[in-house]
Structure 1
Amino acid sequence: MKFTETTFPITQVREQFPALTRTYKDKTVAYFDGPGGSQVVGTAIEAIADYMRRGGANLHGAFPSSWETEEVISEARLSVADFLNVQPNEVAFGANMTTLTIAIANALGKKFEPGDEIVVTEMDHRANVDPWIMMAEDRGLKIRWVKVDTKTKTLDVTELDQQINENTKIVAVGMASNAIGTIVDLKPFAERAKKVGALLVADAVHAAAHVLLDRDQMQIDILLCSAYKFFGPHIGIAAIKEGIFKELEPYKLTTSPSYYPDKLETGTQNHEGIAGILPAVEFFAQFGEGETRRERIVSGIKQIEKHENYLANRLRDGLSAVDGVTVTQAAVNVPKTPTIAFRVNGIEPGQICQKLAEEHSIFVAAGHFYASTLGDVLGVNDSGGWVRAGLAPYSTEEEVDRLLNAIKSLVV
């Protein structure tokens, strides 16, 4: 699918998402809840259904449906390898990112000793905070927090040399805030972690749908994301550097494989869900150009970014111009995902979401979105958190204006 610098094939894009035909209260639904889980591209839905229609099977069998399942998993690993620019044998699947992170934290923690330190941040989703805290409590480790600058809505890295020191074993950082959209500059974290011999664990769950990912170029040791945030099924993904993966000792059954990546994939996997990963990755590649899938993914994501950022800027500017609306965002020069958190004076965020759904058929979410420390630091948790609106490739200018008009009608 090709387009010029000034056009985006929005009609063709929307035709690929069956959920976009849904109506509610006699109006076509406008989905702005993508940061909590995107709609699923039709090709992924078809792949899931096709796998189940043909007859699923477990692995290592001497019959076709078992071989086909192994091929589905192999193709999914290859596609994720291209998506993240890693090796296929470095890719593991799981129930979700949270489950994988807990397993990885517990496995790594076996080699840590009291006095070792873990670094987490105030901006992160708790899935990249609590697994490390729980493991640290079990092992007698110390937790250090990188704070949020409440003025800039970015992480304060002024004391990073003290926070990441010779005792640090893990530096856990989110690539982008799933609540307010701030894209984190990983470079100072990566450089400092490398200097002291710590591992950098990056949560890319929110970033994956919007930001080009390259684990090794970003100097990340363990990268985590979830396909349901980038137009696929509910499958967690971990891309662990081979040397680390090889030495990893996750908790598992004695009869489970001892080789990677399978040793991290406890129990029977969600094979039908895994079948939907390849089409989700191919969704990005269809927009791009190049001889390899990786090249097409890189090119395609850049094109999608242009569309999403145009809409996000329109929404941010429009909301900021409404009296009584406060947008929580970093400065214009700070990169952001197309995710906008805002509040309306005098109206609780949950009530706003209910009104938008019932009166305008607009689906948005409210709360702290599991970035609860950020909500505490910015002082919104006691009053319902934020309203969060997220843009996706299938979002339209008309939907943005529809949301803006709906918000204006609430504050009149």
Structure 2
Amino acid sequence: MFDVQAIRRQFPALQESFDGGPAVFFDNPGGTQVPQQVIDAMVDYLTRRNANTHGAFITSRRTDEVIDRARAAAADLLGAEQDEVIFGPNMTTLTFQLSHALAHEFGPEDEIVVTRLDHDANIMPWVRLAEDRGATVRWADVDVETCTLDMDGLQALITPRTKLVAIGYASNATGTINDVQTVIQWARAAGAYTFVDAVQYAPHGLIDVKALDCDFLACSAYKFFGPHVGILYGKREHLERLPAYRVRPAGDLPPGKWETGTQNHEGLAGVAAAIDYLADLGARYGNVAPDAGRREKLRAAWSVIGPYERMLMERLLDGLSLVSGVRIYGITSRFEWDRRLATVAIRKEGRTPQELAAALAAENIFVWDGNFYALALSERLGVEPSGGLLRIGLVHYNTLDEIDRCLRALERA
């Protein structure tokens, strides 16, 4: 049985009092809370291992071990090889870094496809690349009623001139899960690179870069219960061949050639601990052998997290449909709920998103308002001039009681 109360006890922030009462963390799409084992791992690094890399002394050797463990854990999370995993400050920085490395392959005859459903971090690096190299950007549109991609229109945009297709695994604003597998196949047939932004999907489902056959994929640990560290996957053939902007001692082989400067070592200790936390959930609640590897435990974790989050999402969507004046942006049909995450965007008649967020914050319910850097979507929906959207994001440590508390507060607002 999935014991959410036992899980919640592992998160110190969920036990904290804010202005005299407990908080409801529905700001998860912007960053999740972390379990105690992540905090312990980071404190342990700073206490017992704090040094730079590749030295002859013990704390340096311990740091090397921390980095190796983090890379092995991230490879298991993504289904990648360890030398295909690059660490950096965040997904945005890593994506700009990659766009610089790819730029020399683009010219005026080339085209890049981006979507209006994406976070700007998977749009502007490619727009800037196109501007620098004289390439053309093609925009895939969305259905404004369901906030889903116009797949026919997207397919038509991919031609022999297409050099790269950038797509999000899931929308950070509306929770839409995109059919990235199909888009990758279309791009592959045209000879184009594919870049997948998996930041929003990573806390909710198993990623398998080999099965997807994407060229590049990025995510961020602070979205899946870890610290602020970005992770980039790239096919080995690309990482070895592409020129990286680096200092000379970094070497010519990945991952070192891509990781400029000293990494966030305590953060990497936390990354490994966050992935182990998820694997522990699979070992405890999933149907997996005790001696199974971490990848199989992660697969088992999502097999139990998924149904629990689906239950939370149903409660939230059903409840929101009964709140007077509320409009849900995104998929609302029960028959299509497998195409969305428990990230829900709304507006309420008579209140701006900022006013709603402030009203909820006054009751210790934490949600986001605005465009969440999904600027193209906010503009396409026509809500950007009036404050964007209110976003409620659920993860597996949230509860039905918290959802009911939020619904009552929205009704009162």
TM-score normalised over the length of structure 2 = 0.96
Alignment of 1:208-247 (within 5 A): 208-247=202-241
- Asked whether the equivalents of residues 49 and 60 of structure 2 are also in contact (C-alpha less than 8 Å), the reply is no
CA distance in 2 between partners of 1:142 and 1:132 (Å):
10
**Alignment partner, residue 285 of structure 2:** none
**Alignment partner, residue 173 of structure 2:** 179
CA offset at residue 408 of structure 1? 1.0
**Alignment partner, residue 329 of structure 1:** 330
Moved more, 32-41 or 327-336: 327-336
TM-score normalised over the length of structure 1 = 0.96
CA distance in 2 between partners of 1:231 and 1:22 (Å):
17
Q: 2:148 aligns with which of 141, 151, 154?
A: 154
CA distance in 2 between partners of 1:24 and 1:352 (Å):
19
**Alignment partner, residue 368 of structure 1:** 371
Q: 2:40 aligns with which of 46, 54, 58?
A: 46
**Alignment partner, residue 26 of structure 1:** 20
CA offset at residue 161 of structure 1? 3.9
For 1:393, give the aligned amino acid: H
- Asked whether the equivalents of residues 120 and 374 of structure 2 are also in contact (C-alpha less than 8 Å), the reply is yes
Q: 1:407 aligns with which of 389, 392, 410?
A: 410
**Alignment partner, residue 254 of structure 2:** 260
CA offset at residue 257 of structure 1? 2.3
- Asked whether the equivalents of residues 353 and 370 of structure 2 are also in contact (C-alpha less than 8 Å), the reply is yes
CA distance in 2 between partners of 1:306 and 1:113 (Å):
46
- Asked whether the equivalents of residues 187 and 193 of structure 2 are also in contact (C-alpha less than 8 Å), the reply is yes
- Asked whether the equivalents of residues 118 and 377 of structure 2 are also in contact (C-alpha less than 8 Å), the reply is yes
**Alignment partner, residue 305 of structure 1:** 306
Alignment of 1:23-102 (within 5 A): 23-102=17-96
**Alignment partner, residue 319 of structure 2:** 318
Alignment of 1:183-202 (within 5 A): 183-202=177-196
CA offset at residue 255 of structure 1? 3.1
CA distance in 2 between partners of 1:105 and 1:270 (Å):
22
CA distance in 1 between partners of 2:248 and 2:49 (Å):
29
Q: Cα deviations across residues 344-388 of structure 1 (Å, max 9, x unaligned)? A: 111111111111111x11111101100001001111111111111
Distance 1:55 1:99, change over 3 A: same
CA distance in 1 between partners of 2:323 and 2:365 (Å):
18
For 1:307, give the aligned amino acid: Y
CA distance in 2 between partners of 1:255 and 1:42 (Å):
37
Percent identity between the two aligned chains: 44
List, as ranges, runs of 4+ consecutive aligned residues in structure 1 with deviation greater than 6 Å. Answer: none
Q: Cα deviations across residues 96-155 of structure 1 (Å, max 9, x unaligned)? A: 000000000110111222211111100000000000111111111111111111133210
**Alignment partner, residue 120 of structure 2:** 126
CA offset at residue 319 of structure 1? 0.7
Distance 1:161 1:405, change over 3 A: closer
CA distance in 1 between partners of 2:357 and 2:86 (Å):
36
CA offset at residue 320 of structure 1? 1.1
CA distance in 1 between partners of 2:243 and 2:234 (Å):
13
Please state whether the residue corresponding to 1:137 is helix, strand or coil.
helix
**Which segments of 5 or more consecutive residues in structure 1 lack a partner in the other structure?**
none
For 1:147, give the aligned amino acid: D
Please state whether the residue corresponding to 2:328 is helix, strand or coil.
strand
Q: Cα deviations across residues 193-227 of structure 1 (Å, max 9, x unaligned)? A: 11011111000000000021101111211010000
Please state whether the residue corresponding to 1:341 is helix, strand or coil.
strand
Please tell me whether residue 380 in structure 1 is matched to residue 383 in structure 2.
yes
Please state whether the residue corresponding to 1:342 is helix, strand or coil.
strand
**Alignment partner, residue 9 of structure 1:** 3
Please state whether the residue corresponding to 1:38 is helix, strand or coil.
coil
Please state whether the residue corresponding to 1:110 is helix, strand or coil.
helix
Distance 1:161 1:362, change over 3 A: closer
Q: 1:352 aligns with which of 356, 362, 367?
A: 356
CA distance in 2 between partners of 1:80 and 1:252 (Å):
22
Please state whether the residue corresponding to 1:179 is helix, strand or coil.
coil
Q: Cα deviations across residues 65-105 of structure 1 (Å, max 9, x unaligned)? A: 11111110111111111111010110010000000000001
CA distance in 2 between partners of 1:121 and 1:351 (Å):
29
CA distance in 2 between partners of 1:160 and 1:230 (Å):
29
Please state whether the residue corresponding to 1:119 is helix, strand or coil.
strand
Please state whether the residue corresponding to 2:247 is helix, strand or coil.
coil
Please state whether the residue corresponding to 2:392 is helix, strand or coil.
strand
For 2:324, give the aligned amino acid: D
For 1:297, give the aligned amino acid: L
CA distance in 2 between partners of 1:376 and 1:211 (Å):
28
Please state whether the residue corresponding to 1:225 is helix, strand or coil.
strand
Distance 1:298 1:129, change over 3 A: same
CA offset at residue 331 of structure 1? 4.2
**Which segments of 5 or more consecutive residues in structure 2 lack a partner in the other structure?**
283-287
RMSD over aligned CA atoms reads: 1.1
CA distance in 2 between partners of 1:142 and 1:351 (Å):
40
Q: 2:398 aligns with which of 395, 398, 404?
A: 395
Please state whether the residue corresponding to 1:387 is helix, strand or coil.
strand
Normalized per residue, the structure richer in helix is 2
Alignment of 1:159-170 (within 5 A): 159-170=153-164
